[in-house]
Amino acid sequence: MLDILETEKSFILKHLKEGDVAADFTMGNGHDTLFLSKTVGENGKVFAFDIQPDALKSTEKRLKENGAFENYTLICDSHHNADKYIDRPIKAGMFNLGYLPGGDKTITTKRETTLSAIKTAINLLAPDGILLIAVYPGHEEGEIEGELIHEMLSELDRRQYCCAKFRIINSPTSSYFYIVESK
């Protein structure tokens, strides 16, 4: 069977290499932050965002326990403020929308800040960069976020960006993801 997480990473690895800059726009428990940190290596840089202090604690613990390079900055702020912290182009960015696994399920990403954050991330994207946006339609806000992201990405200039959607069609409430690649 298809492993959606491994599929997501395979797209990122086509763009991201040692020494690059990346961003985890929805840190959560730090799985993507760790992946990005190990991928960019000692000379790279990772910025990671979450509004919940518990996410930062969980992520820092995961990074230390798994031998991550000290190439990351964990930021307790909304992803829509990323341009206040990231001062250079990024080669890759990851969004895992929804709620903190194991946390308070009433605290979710919200369409207003998510759309703003994606626009910010697109503006930060280096040439030949990639954004991966995982959507979880199993809850009301997630379904709406996914529809609005689709509309927004559909309007991007195809001469500058290639946008795609990857979805398992016989499982309508399963997560799916969008890819935005800059040319």
User: What angle separates helix 140-154 from helix 111-124, to the nearest 10 degrees?
Assistant: 40
The reported pLDDT for the residue numbered 143 is: 87
Summarised one tens digit per residue, pLDDT across range 18-49 is: 999 999 999 999 999 999 999 999 999 999 99
CA angle 100, 152, 77 (to 5 degrees): 35
Q: Does 120 fall in a domain?
A: yes
Q: Does 1 fall in a domain?
A: no
Summarised one tens digit per residue, pLDDT across range 46-63 is: 999 999 999 999 999 999
The reported pLDDT for the residue numbered 100 is: 56
The reported pLDDT for the residue numbered 129 is: 98
The reported pLDDT for the residue numbered 105 is: 67
The reported pLDDT for the residue numbered 126 is: 98
**Cα torsion through 165, 101, 140, 170, rounded to 10:** 50
The reported pLDDT for the residue numbered 2 is: 74
**Domain range for 125:** 6-182
Query: 99: domain CATH number?
Result: 3.40.50.150
Q: How far apart are the C-alpha atoms of 112 and 145, rounded to whole Å?
A: 9
Residues of the chain with pLDDT under 50: none
Residues found in the chain: 183
The reported pLDDT for the residue numbered 168 is: 87
Residue 8 to residues 53, 76, 89, 124, Cα–Cα distance (Å): 26, 25, 21, 20
* Secondary structure class of 9 (helix, strand, coil): helix
Query: Torsions phi, psi of 180, nearest 5?
Result: -125, 120
In the chain, the number of structural domains is 1
- For 26-175, where are the E strands, in sequence order? 45-50, 72-76, 90-96, 125-135, 161-166
